[in-house]
């Protein structure tokens, strides 16, 4: 499953960083996920299973900042959101000359250790 490898990648990166900083337990993790990048429910489920493999994450809460798909029209500059990537057209001028400005994000925003 795509989401499982994403969570594994995230936990690996944070654990490595936490080790360097001599952090014993992580309290919160914040990730930013675009609608096109992954399904948030599956990320959350994968996280709830995988956190118990590593003591550093036993009590960690995962926050997902879920980003919608946004486009900007290259003809009239209209900005709008769309549920689908395919067949998107500008609602104002019907142009298909669009640039996606959000929806593919996938990165670790922050993590907070226990004091
Ligand atoms: Zn337009």
Please write the tens of the pLDDT for every residue from 30-48. Answer: 999 998 899 999 999 999 9
Domain that holds residue 66: 2-113
pLDDT of residue 114: 92
- Residues measured by CB to lie within 5 Å of ligand 1, the ion: 73, 75-76, 78, 90, 92-93, 95
**pLDDT at 84 (0 to 100):** 72
- pLDDT for res 105: 94
Instruction: Give the distance (Å) from ligand 1 centre to CA of residue 72.
Output: 8
Q: What is the 3-state secondary structure (H, E, C) of 36-61?
A: CCCCHHHHHHHHHHHHHHCHHHCCCE
pLDDT digits (tens, 9 = 90+) for 67-109: 999 999 999 999 999 877 677 899 999 999 999 999 999 999 9
Number of domains within the chain: 1
Task: State in Å: Cα 67 to ligand 1 middle.
Answer: 22
- CATH code of the domain in which 93 resides: 3.30.2320.80
Q: Cα(17)–Cα(14) distance, rounded to whole angstroms?
A: 5
Task: State in Å: Cα 34 to ligand 1 middle.
Answer: 23
The confidence band for 1, taking pLDDT boundaries of 50, 70 and 90, is: low
CA of 37 to the centre of ligand 1 (A): 25
Output the CA 5–ligand 1 centroid distance in Å: 38
């Amino acid at each position: 499953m795509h989401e499982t490898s994403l969570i594994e990648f995230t936990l690996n990166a944070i654990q490595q960083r936490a080790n360097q900083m001599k952090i014993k337990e992580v309290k919160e993790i914040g990730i930013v996920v675009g609608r096109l990048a992954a399904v948030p429910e599956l990320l959350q489920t994968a996280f709830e299973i995988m956190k118990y493999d590593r003591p550093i994450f036993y009590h960690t809460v995962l926050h997902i900042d879920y980003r919608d798909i946004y486009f900007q029209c290259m003809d009239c500059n209209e900005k709008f959101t769309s549920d689908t990537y395919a067949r998107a057209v500008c609602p104002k001028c019907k142009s298909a000359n669009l640039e996606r400005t959000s929806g593919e994000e996938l990165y670790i925003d922050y993590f907070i250790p226990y004091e």
